[in-house]
């Protein structure tokens, strides 16, 4: 089972926490919008923002891992160089 989808005020609060716009779609022009996006649209926006955050965290873990591997390889190379 997946994570329960938020609705209503909880959904709006989570969207604002993630920095997601809660504005609705345009009605007629740039100054006329629906006051708030539908729950379905906000859920989509929140899920997209959460995926983006997760991807950024995974990228950071991969980068740190690559740096650790490089440091290990350099240390091994230095050990072999000094031993010979």
Q: What is the pLDDT of residues 62-72, one digit of tens each?
A: 999 999 999 99
Query: Phi/psi at 33 (nearest 5 deg)?
Result: -130, 160
Model confidence at 16: pLDDT above 80: yes
Question: Which residue from 42, 37, 34, 36 is spatially nearest to 17, judged by alpha carbons?
Answer: 42
Mean pLDDT over the full length of the chain:
88
Across the range 24-35, mean pLDDT stands at 67
Whether the CB-CB separation of 42 and 12 falls below 8 Å is answered with yes
> Which two structure tokens, joined as six digits, stand for 82?
């000094």
Show me where the domains of the chain are located.
Answer: 8-83
How far is the C-alpha of 45 from the C-alpha of 66, rounded, in Å? 32
């Amino acid at each position: 089972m997946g994570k329960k989808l938020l609705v209503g005020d909880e959904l709006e609060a989570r969207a604002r926490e993630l920095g997601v716009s809660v504005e609705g779609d345009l009605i007629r022009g740039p100054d006329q919008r629906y006051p708030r996006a539908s729950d379905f649209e906000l859920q989509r926006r929140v899920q997209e923002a959460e995926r983006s955050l997760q991807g950024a965290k995974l990228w950071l873990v991969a980068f740190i891992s690559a740096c650790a591997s490089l440091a290990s390889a350099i240390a091994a190379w230095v050990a072999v160089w000094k031993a010979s």
